[in-house]
Structure 1
Amino acid sequence: MSSPLTNATPGAGATLTVRIIKSFEFRTERSLVLHAVDLGATTVGALKEMAREAVSTQPGWKAYRNIQLDTLKLYTKAHGAKTTNLIINLDHDDWIFEDDSKTLLECGFENETEVSFFNRELYEQFKAHPETRWEG
């Protein structure tokens, strides 16, 4: 009898949530849930392409298609603490995945890992002035 995938035994059946961020200031993001991701075979670069492909082809993503998505950063792992900032964790720049050739497993991904996918330039601007705005 096979056991279900747990966070301690990552494999080919991992579920990941990619938080596609359109605007830091307006806290505009939408989650893309990917199922059956092979953490040992999928690279950071491949995950970026999977997310870009979904945004460019799946219905409901039209408002996100004009964003140049280029950076992945860890948001949280299953059962881990979440940031108090609702759009992105501004600390821990060491959680940015810089090497597109590393596998997700090498980067410490587990089942139910949640990452943010965004434009690095917009992130740096928001980090310098982390103010949120609301339409009114």
Structure 2
Amino acid sequence: MVYTDFDDVLTNESKPRTSATLTLRIIKSFEYRTEKSLVLHAINLETTTVGQLKDLAREAVKTQAGWKPYRTVDHDTLKLYTKAHGAKTTNLIINLDHDDWILADDAQILADAGFENETEVSFFNRELYEKFKLNPQTTW
């Protein structure tokens, strides 16, 4: 077996912070667990702000094929879902705990918010989220 220098590197450390891959879980419905992942490549975590990331996601939903059902939702909030090699929630759509993971400051730099390569973030409507938290029942 041949080993390389990358064998011991974790995926969240395999790329520089200036060219990270992020996964945004664009949520349409909490009750029906309707979400679609948007993978963004070459994101500079040291210069990109929370607001800029929201704008990138909104533009993708507005212009890319396959996103038409998601255009009816006013996506306005980002919340960390998980980092590479981190624990995931048992809720398949969003982590309902850790409201301190909600990214409320649009001017905050992603690296300062704790982003790394392969970070997953939920993008959703805050009003729908708060309503779902009061009664977190899912429907099929």
Measure how far apart 1:7 and its partner are: 2.4
- Higher helix proportion: 2
Matches within 5 A, 1:1-136: 7-8=12-13, 10-134=16-140
Q: Percent of counterpart pairs with the same letter?
A: 72
SS of the aligned residue for 1:7 comes to: helix
Q: Which runs of 5+ in 2 are unaligned?
A: 1-5
SS of the aligned residue for 1:75 comes to: strand
Runs of 4+ in 1 over 2 A off after TM superposition: 3-10
C-alpha distance after superposition, 1:57-114 (max 9, x if no partner): 0000000001000000000000001000001000000000000001000101000000
Aligned AA (1:120)? R
Q: TM-score, normalised by structure 2?
A: 0.90
How big is the alpha-carbon RMSD for the aligned residues of Structure 1 and Structure 2? 1.7
The question of whether the paired residues in 2 share the 8 Å contact of 1:5 and 1:14 is answered with no
C-alpha distance after superposition, 1:19-69 (max 9, x if no partner): 000000000000000000000010000000000000000000000001000
- Does 6-15 or 116-125 show the bigger shift? 6-15
The question of whether the paired residues in 2 share the 8 Å contact of 1:10 and 1:39 is answered with no
Question: How many residues are paired up?
Answer: 133
Q: TM-score, normalised by structure 1?
A: 0.93
